[in-house]
A = this chain, B = another copy of it.
Amino acid sequence: MIRAGIVGGTGYTGVELLRLLASHTEVEVVAITSRAESGRRVDELYPNLRGVYDLAFEEPDVRLLAGCDVVFFATPHNVAMHMVPELLAAGTRVIDLSADYRIRDAELWSRWYGEPHASPEWLPRAVYGLPELHREDIRSARLLACPGCYPTAIQLGWLPLLAGGLVDTGTLIASAASGASGAGRQAKIDNLLSEVSGSFKAYGVSGHRHLPEIEQGLAAVAGGQVAVTFVPHLLPMVRGIHATLFARLRAPAEGLQALYEEYYADEPFVDVLPPGVFPQTRTVKGANRCQLSVVVPQNRDTVVVMSVIDNLVKGASGQAVQCMNIMFGLAETRGLEQVGLLP
């Protein structure tokens, strides 16, 4: 039995980890921390977990967490990077759902996150937790940097095209949209139902923090620089990310459907839809799954890829569990068999 700890358990990725791990037969959550809710029962904050966990939030404390085989950080950025070195030194493995270890270049990280990195020495040693790209490295990882939600949807959408060198990498365009849970469980006016419901808007157009992570990942696959114009939007709903990806074909393309189907043939959590079927966020709600479609409208020279995930599952907690399974030598699908909740 794997003993797991969760830091920052009051947020949406924290409660989602608890939901997923509840059906994982090889893991026991032994500690969950929250500075704000310390002492309060988990199922008091989240009554959907009544009868499932007999846990209370505790103060975050390295000694407590060091007793775990693995610790998940479900925190905002800037938390994990202060605690992780000590935990790693204690022999615990770490899966960080935050942004702290996603970017390999400490200076680039600082530019986007507005402060120096607290443990830059660990940046090159962190493994980027996108199993479809880094499965082998994940097996032996001690520190895992889980991809952001947009980066997961976008990278999975473009991998086959970039790996195949089929599109111009200097004019990539990603128009993506996220449900409001992507903004976390934070008391901000911008996230009120009365502000978001019945409306749609772009945000972070001049520069969203997920951009460098996306370009870093795609560049590695393309074997050279890539430039992405990335416009995220806020959807009036809770869960789901939809990325609509545009790229210019280097040559007239046939067989893109087959290319995608083959590329992902062995992936348990990436599903290429049949021709003419476009993904909806609702078909992956609650499921650790990315569904994809590829189209070349009017047979012109622009290829459109649509990619959907549940931002809290394949875009966060589900992916974290998937990585944990790989790290601990378990079947990769363990605890992740949930079917999308439709309708």
Contacts and interface: CB of A to CB of B under 8 A. Distances in A.
Contacts of A314: none
A278 interface: yes
Given A50-B271, A229-B246, A235-B236, A187 B188 contact: yes
A244 B181 CA distance: 22
Given A180-B194, A187-B187, A194-B343, A199 B237 contact: yes
A177 interface: yes
Contacts of A235: 200, 235-236
Given A15-B342, A229-B300, A339-B22, A180 B200 contact: no
Contacts of A281: 198-201
Interface residues of A, number: 89
A78 interface: no
Interface of A: 12, 15, 19, 22-23, 44, 46-52, 171, 173, 175, 177, 179-181, 183, 185-189, 191-203, 205-207, 227, 229-231, 233, 235-240, 242, 244, 246, 248, 271, 273-274, 276-287, 291, 293, 295, 297-298, 300, 302, 304, 306, 308, 337-343
Given A173-B246, A189-B187, A202-B278, A197 B52 contact: no
A247 to B, nearest CB: 10
